[in-house]
Amino acid sequence: MRQSWGKWFLTDVKRAIKDYAMIAPGDKVAVGLSGGKDSMALLYILSYLRDYSHLSFSLEAILVDAGWAPVDYSRVANFCAERRVPLHIVRHPIAAVIAAKGEKSACSLCAKLRAGLLNSRAKALGCQRVALGHHLDDVIETFFLNLIFAGSLRTFRPAVYLDRIGLHLIRPLSYVPERVLSSLVTQAGIPVLPAVCPHAGRTQRAAMKEIVGFIAERYPEFRRRFRTALENVSFNDLWYQRGGKAAKLPAGAGTSALGEDDLWGEGLEP
Ligand SMILES: Nc1ncnc2c1ncn2[C@@H]1O[C@H](COP(=O)(O)OP(=O)(O)OP(=O)(O)O)[C@@H](O)[C@H]1O
Protein backbone atom coordinates (compact mmCIF):
# COMPACT_ATOMS: atom_id res chain seq x y z
CA MET A 1 0.00 0.00 0.00
CA ARG A 2 1.34 3.46 -0.85
CA GLN A 3 1.93 5.51 2.27
CA SER A 4 3.03 8.81 0.72
CA TRP A 5 0.05 10.56 2.33
CA GLY A 6 1.84 10.69 5.67
CA LYS A 7 0.60 10.14 9.14
CA TRP A 8 -0.54 13.48 10.47
CA PHE A 9 -4.25 13.06 9.82
CA LEU A 10 -4.04 9.40 10.83
CA THR A 11 -3.43 10.77 14.32
CA ASP A 12 -6.84 12.46 14.17
CA VAL A 13 -8.54 9.25 13.05
CA LYS A 14 -6.85 7.22 15.78
CA ARG A 15 -7.74 9.87 18.35
CA ALA A 16 -11.42 9.81 17.37
CA ILE A 17 -11.43 6.00 17.53
CA LYS A 18 -9.87 6.13 20.99
CA ASP A 19 -11.93 9.05 22.37
CA TYR A 20 -15.20 7.34 21.45
CA ALA A 21 -14.08 3.73 21.95
CA MET A 22 -15.15 3.12 18.36
CA ILE A 23 -13.49 -0.26 17.85
CA ALA A 24 -13.06 -3.12 20.33
CA PRO A 25 -10.69 -6.07 19.83
CA GLY A 26 -12.15 -8.67 17.50
CA ASP A 27 -14.86 -6.39 16.11
CA LYS A 28 -16.25 -6.87 12.64
CA VAL A 29 -16.74 -3.40 11.14
CA ALA A 30 -19.02 -2.77 8.16
CA VAL A 31 -18.05 0.27 6.09
CA GLY A 32 -20.98 1.98 4.40
CA LEU A 33 -19.50 2.47 0.94
CA SER A 34 -21.19 4.80 -1.54
CA GLY A 35 -18.29 4.86 -4.02
CA GLY A 36 -17.90 8.59 -3.22
CA LYS A 37 -14.61 10.07 -2.00
CA ASP A 38 -15.38 10.14 1.74
CA SER A 39 -16.36 6.51 2.19
CA MET A 40 -13.67 5.32 -0.26
CA ALA A 41 -11.08 7.25 1.80
CA LEU A 42 -12.57 5.75 4.97
CA LEU A 43 -12.18 2.23 3.62
CA TYR A 44 -8.60 2.98 2.62
CA ILE A 45 -7.75 4.37 6.07
CA LEU A 46 -9.51 1.61 8.04
CA SER A 47 -7.85 -1.12 5.98
CA TYR A 48 -4.51 0.57 6.69
CA LEU A 49 -5.26 0.62 10.44
CA ARG A 50 -6.42 -3.01 10.32
CA ASP A 51 -3.05 -3.98 8.80
CA TYR A 52 -0.64 -1.60 10.54
CA SER A 53 -2.02 -0.58 13.95
CA HIS A 54 -2.51 -2.33 17.29
CA LEU A 55 -6.27 -2.35 16.65
CA SER A 56 -7.49 -5.81 15.80
CA PHE A 57 -10.65 -5.90 13.73
CA SER A 58 -11.97 -7.14 10.41
CA LEU A 59 -13.76 -5.24 7.67
CA GLU A 60 -16.72 -5.73 5.34
CA ALA A 61 -17.87 -3.16 2.77
CA ILE A 62 -21.59 -2.69 2.10
CA LEU A 63 -22.78 -0.64 -0.87
CA VAL A 64 -26.47 0.14 -1.25
CA ASP A 65 -27.45 0.59 -4.90
CA ALA A 66 -30.58 2.76 -4.86
CA GLY A 67 -31.31 2.24 -8.54
CA TRP A 68 -30.84 5.84 -9.70
CA ALA A 69 -28.91 4.73 -12.80
CA PRO A 70 -26.93 1.71 -13.99
CA VAL A 71 -23.46 1.82 -12.40
CA ASP A 72 -20.30 -0.13 -13.20
CA TYR A 73 -18.85 -1.08 -9.80
CA SER A 74 -15.76 -2.87 -11.12
CA ARG A 75 -13.30 -0.22 -9.90
CA VAL A 76 -14.85 -0.26 -6.43
CA ALA A 77 -14.81 -4.07 -6.41
CA ASN A 78 -11.11 -4.12 -7.41
CA PHE A 79 -10.26 -1.54 -4.78
CA CYS A 80 -11.96 -3.65 -2.07
CA ALA A 81 -10.34 -6.86 -3.32
CA GLU A 82 -6.86 -5.25 -3.27
CA ARG A 83 -7.47 -4.40 0.38
CA ARG A 84 -8.91 -7.79 1.22
CA VAL A 85 -12.28 -6.34 2.16
CA PRO A 86 -15.31 -8.37 1.03
CA LEU A 87 -17.77 -6.15 -0.87
CA HIS A 88 -21.53 -6.69 -0.57
CA ILE A 89 -23.80 -4.83 -2.97
CA VAL A 90 -27.38 -4.45 -1.75
CA ARG A 91 -29.75 -3.52 -4.57
CA HIS A 92 -33.07 -1.89 -3.72
CA PRO A 93 -35.38 0.27 -5.86
CA ILE A 94 -35.17 3.31 -3.55
CA ALA A 95 -35.31 5.65 -6.57
CA ALA A 96 -38.59 4.09 -7.70
CA VAL A 97 -40.06 4.28 -4.18
CA ILE A 98 -39.17 8.00 -4.04
CA ALA A 99 -40.56 8.66 -7.52
CA ALA A 100 -43.84 6.99 -6.51
CA LYS A 101 -44.12 9.18 -3.40
CA GLY A 102 -43.19 12.47 -5.13
CA GLU A 103 -39.98 14.46 -4.63
CA LYS A 104 -40.77 16.45 -1.51
CA SER A 105 -38.54 14.74 1.04
CA ALA A 106 -36.42 12.71 -1.36
CA CYS A 107 -33.12 13.10 0.54
CA SER A 108 -34.38 12.18 3.99
CA LEU A 109 -36.48 9.27 2.69
CA CYS A 110 -33.52 7.97 0.66
CA ALA A 111 -31.19 8.30 3.70
CA LYS A 112 -33.67 6.47 5.93
CA LEU A 113 -34.19 3.58 3.51
CA ARG A 114 -30.46 3.36 2.80
CA ALA A 115 -29.56 3.31 6.49
CA GLY A 116 -32.11 0.57 7.12
CA LEU A 117 -30.71 -1.59 4.32
CA LEU A 118 -27.11 -0.92 5.36
CA ASN A 119 -27.70 -1.68 9.03
CA SER A 120 -29.69 -4.84 8.47
CA ARG A 121 -27.08 -6.25 6.07
CA ALA A 122 -24.35 -5.37 8.60
CA LYS A 123 -26.30 -7.17 11.30
CA ALA A 124 -26.84 -10.19 9.05
CA LEU A 125 -23.07 -10.33 8.42
CA GLY A 126 -22.42 -10.44 12.17
CA CYS A 127 -20.91 -6.93 12.37
CA GLN A 128 -20.94 -4.98 15.64
CA ARG A 129 -20.13 -1.62 14.03
CA VAL A 130 -21.17 0.33 10.97
CA ALA A 131 -18.64 2.98 9.90
CA LEU A 132 -19.74 6.01 7.89
CA GLY A 133 -17.60 8.52 6.01
CA HIS A 134 -18.85 11.70 7.70
CA HIS A 135 -16.01 14.17 8.31
CA LEU A 136 -15.47 17.40 10.25
CA ASP A 137 -17.06 19.58 7.56
CA ASP A 138 -20.20 17.40 7.72
CA VAL A 139 -20.28 17.93 11.50
CA ILE A 140 -20.08 21.71 11.08
CA GLU A 141 -22.55 21.87 8.18
CA THR A 142 -25.06 19.82 10.17
CA PHE A 143 -24.68 22.25 13.06
CA PHE A 144 -25.48 25.19 10.76
CA LEU A 145 -28.41 23.35 9.17
CA ASN A 146 -29.90 22.83 12.61
CA LEU A 147 -29.16 26.38 13.68
CA ILE A 148 -30.59 28.06 10.59
CA PHE A 149 -33.52 25.77 9.71
CA ALA A 150 -34.51 24.17 13.02
CA GLY A 151 -33.43 26.80 15.57
CA SER A 152 -31.42 24.29 17.56
CA LEU A 153 -27.79 23.92 18.67
CA ARG A 154 -26.95 20.37 17.72
CA THR A 155 -25.03 18.14 15.41
CA PHE A 156 -24.41 14.39 15.20
CA ARG A 157 -21.99 12.54 17.45
CA PRO A 158 -18.88 10.68 16.31
CA ALA A 159 -20.37 7.46 17.71
CA VAL A 160 -23.80 6.30 18.82
CA TYR A 161 -25.33 3.00 19.82
CA LEU A 162 -28.48 2.07 17.91
CA ASP A 163 -30.25 0.03 20.55
CA ARG A 164 -33.21 -0.99 18.39
CA ILE A 165 -30.92 -2.96 16.09
CA GLY A 166 -27.99 -3.47 18.46
CA LEU A 167 -25.30 -1.81 16.33
CA HIS A 168 -22.70 0.87 17.00
CA LEU A 169 -22.67 3.61 14.37
CA ILE A 170 -19.17 5.08 14.16
CA ARG A 171 -17.72 8.01 12.25
CA PRO A 172 -13.93 7.66 12.43
CA LEU A 173 -13.35 10.72 10.18
CA SER A 174 -15.23 13.10 12.50
CA TYR A 175 -12.04 15.02 13.35
CA VAL A 176 -10.75 15.19 9.76
CA PRO A 177 -11.53 18.17 7.47
CA GLU A 178 -12.94 17.33 4.05
CA ARG A 179 -10.07 18.88 2.10
CA VAL A 180 -7.66 16.41 3.74
CA LEU A 181 -9.73 13.53 2.39
CA SER A 182 -9.82 15.11 -1.07
CA SER A 183 -6.05 15.33 -1.16
CA LEU A 184 -5.67 11.78 0.17
CA VAL A 185 -7.91 10.52 -2.63
CA THR A 186 -5.77 12.33 -5.22
CA GLN A 187 -2.40 11.38 -3.74
CA ALA A 188 -3.23 7.74 -3.11
CA GLY A 189 -5.06 7.31 -6.43
CA ILE A 190 -8.25 6.10 -4.74
CA PRO A 191 -10.99 5.51 -7.33
CA VAL A 192 -14.17 7.56 -6.89
CA LEU A 193 -17.47 7.01 -8.67
CA PRO A 194 -19.41 10.03 -9.94
CA ALA A 195 -22.63 10.79 -8.04
CA VAL A 196 -25.66 9.32 -9.80
CA CYS A 197 -28.26 10.77 -7.44
CA PRO A 198 -30.21 13.51 -9.29
CA HIS A 199 -30.42 15.56 -6.08
CA ALA A 200 -26.64 15.68 -5.46
CA GLY A 201 -25.31 19.22 -5.06
CA ARG A 202 -28.79 20.78 -4.92
CA THR A 203 -29.39 20.46 -1.21
CA GLN A 204 -29.37 23.02 1.59
CA ARG A 205 -26.21 21.24 2.73
CA ALA A 206 -24.45 22.63 -0.34
CA ALA A 207 -25.41 26.14 0.81
CA MET A 208 -24.02 25.39 4.30
CA LYS A 209 -20.77 24.22 2.69
CA GLU A 210 -20.45 27.64 1.07
CA ILE A 211 -21.02 29.38 4.40
CA VAL A 212 -18.43 27.20 6.18
CA GLY A 213 -15.96 27.79 3.33
CA PHE A 214 -16.52 31.54 3.57
CA ILE A 215 -15.87 31.65 7.33
CA ALA A 216 -12.84 29.35 7.08
CA GLU A 217 -11.32 31.50 4.38
CA ARG A 218 -11.46 34.49 6.69
CA TYR A 219 -10.55 32.56 9.86
CA PRO A 220 -8.31 29.65 8.84
CA GLU A 221 -8.50 28.01 12.30
CA PHE A 222 -12.30 27.89 12.15
CA ARG A 223 -12.78 24.14 11.65
CA ARG A 224 -10.33 23.18 14.39
CA ARG A 225 -11.88 25.76 16.73
CA PHE A 226 -15.33 24.42 15.99
CA ARG A 227 -14.27 20.95 17.04
CA THR A 228 -12.77 22.34 20.23
CA ALA A 229 -15.99 24.26 20.89
CA LEU A 230 -18.07 21.09 20.71
CA GLU A 231 -15.96 19.66 23.51
CA ASN A 232 -16.07 22.90 25.47
CA VAL A 233 -19.77 23.78 25.83
CA SER A 234 -20.59 26.20 28.62
CA PHE A 235 -23.97 24.74 29.56
CA ASN A 236 -24.47 27.24 32.39
CA ASP A 237 -24.42 30.08 29.91
CA LEU A 238 -27.06 28.60 27.63
CA TRP A 239 -30.56 29.92 28.09
CA TYR A 240 -33.50 28.33 29.86
CA GLN A 241 -34.35 25.08 28.06
CA ARG A 242 -37.96 24.94 26.96
CA GLY A 243 -37.77 21.26 26.16
CA GLY A 244 -39.61 19.54 23.37
CA LYS A 245 -38.16 18.44 20.08
CA ALA A 246 -36.58 20.87 17.67
CA ALA A 247 -38.45 21.55 14.46
CA LYS A 248 -37.73 19.16 11.62
CA LEU A 249 -35.15 20.16 9.06
CA PRO A 250 -36.72 21.11 5.71
CA ALA A 251 -36.81 18.78 2.74
CA GLY A 252 -33.48 18.90 0.95
CA ALA A 253 -31.52 19.80 4.07
CA GLY A 254 -29.32 16.81 3.46
CA THR A 255 -28.80 13.36 4.75
CA SER A 256 -26.41 13.48 7.65
CA ALA A 257 -28.73 14.38 10.52
CA LEU A 258 -29.83 10.84 11.17
CA GLY A 259 -31.31 11.60 14.56
CA GLU A 260 -28.08 11.15 16.53
CA ASP A 261 -28.23 14.80 17.17
CA ASP A 262 -26.71 15.85 20.46
CA LEU A 263 -23.73 18.01 21.17
CA TRP A 264 -20.52 16.07 21.61
CA GLY A 265 -19.36 14.90 24.97
CA GLU A 266 -22.75 14.18 26.51
CA GLY A 267 -23.91 10.73 27.54
CA LEU A 268 -21.59 8.85 25.24
CA GLU A 269 -22.06 5.21 24.62
CA PRO A 270 -18.98 3.06 24.06
N1 LIG B 1 -25.26 4.03 -1.20
C2 LIG B 1 -24.61 3.88 -0.05
N3 LIG B 1 -24.29 2.65 0.39
C4 LIG B 1 -23.63 2.50 1.57
N5 LIG B 1 -23.27 3.52 2.36
C6 LIG B 1 -23.57 4.76 1.97
C7 LIG B 1 -24.25 5.02 0.75
N8 LIG B 1 -24.40 6.34 0.61
C9 LIG B 1 -23.84 6.90 1.69
N10 LIG B 1 -23.33 5.96 2.52
C11 LIG B 1 -22.60 6.18 3.79
O12 LIG B 1 -23.11 7.32 4.44
C13 LIG B 1 -22.09 8.34 4.52
C14 LIG B 1 -22.71 9.69 4.36
O15 LIG B 1 -23.45 9.72 3.17
P16 LIG B 1 -23.67 11.07 2.36
O17 LIG B 1 -24.55 10.76 1.20
O18 LIG B 1 -24.02 12.15 3.31
O19 LIG B 1 -22.18 11.20 1.88
P20 LIG B 1 -21.08 11.95 1.17
O21 LIG B 1 -20.62 13.06 2.08
O22 LIG B 1 -21.41 12.28 -0.22
O23 LIG B 1 -20.01 10.75 1.28
P24 LIG B 1 -19.33 9.88 0.14
O25 LIG B 1 -18.27 10.79 -0.41
O26 LIG B 1 -18.81 8.69 0.86
O27 LIG B 1 -20.42 9.54 -0.86
C28 LIG B 1 -21.10 7.97 3.42
O29 LIG B 1 -19.81 8.50 3.65
C30 LIG B 1 -21.12 6.47 3.47
O31 LIG B 1 -20.34 5.98 4.55
For residue 11, CA distances in Å to 17, 37, 230 come to: 10, 20, 19
Long-range pairs, 2-5, Cβ under 8 A, ≥24? 2/188, 2/189, 3/48, 4/187, 4/188, 5/183, 5/184, 5/187, 5/188
Could you state, in order of their start, the residue ranges of all structural domains in the chain? 8-234
pLDDT at 147: 94
Are 251 and 102 in contact by the 8 Å Cβ rule? The answer is no
Q: Whose CA is nearest to atom 9 of ligand 1?
A: 34
Are 131 and 122 in contact by the 8 Å Cβ rule? The answer is no
- Binding-site residue positions for ATP: 32-34, 38, 64, 133, 138
Q: Does the C-beta of 141 come closer than 6 Å to ligand 1?
A: no
Across 94-98, 161-165, 193-197, the highest mean pLDDT is recorded for 161-165
Are 56 and 25 in contact by the 8 Å Cβ rule? The answer is yes
Q: Does the C-beta of 30 come closer than 6 Å to ligand 1?
A: no
**235 vs 262, more confident:** 235
Exposed, middle or buried by CB within 10 Å (0-12, 13-18, 19+), for 54? Answer: exposed
pLDDT in tens, 237-265: 988 887 655 555 555 554 433 333 445 53
- Binding-site residue positions: 32-34, 38, 64, 133, 138
- Taking residue 50's Cβ as centre, other Cβ atoms within 10 Å add up to 18
H-helix segments, the chain: 8-19, 37-52, 74-82, 94-101, 106-124, 136-145, 178-188, 204-218, 222-230
pTM beyond 0.80, yes or no:
yes
C-alpha span between 141 and 259 (Å, rounded): 15
Spelled out in words, what is the top-level CATH class assigned to the domain 8-234?
alpha beta
Return the DSSP state at 236: G
Q: Which atom of ligand 1 is nearest to the CA of 205?
A: 18
Would you say the ipTM is above 0.85? yes
pLDDT in tens, 16-42: 999 999 999 999 999 999 999 999 999
Q: Does the C-beta of 34 come closer than 6 Å to ligand 1?
A: yes
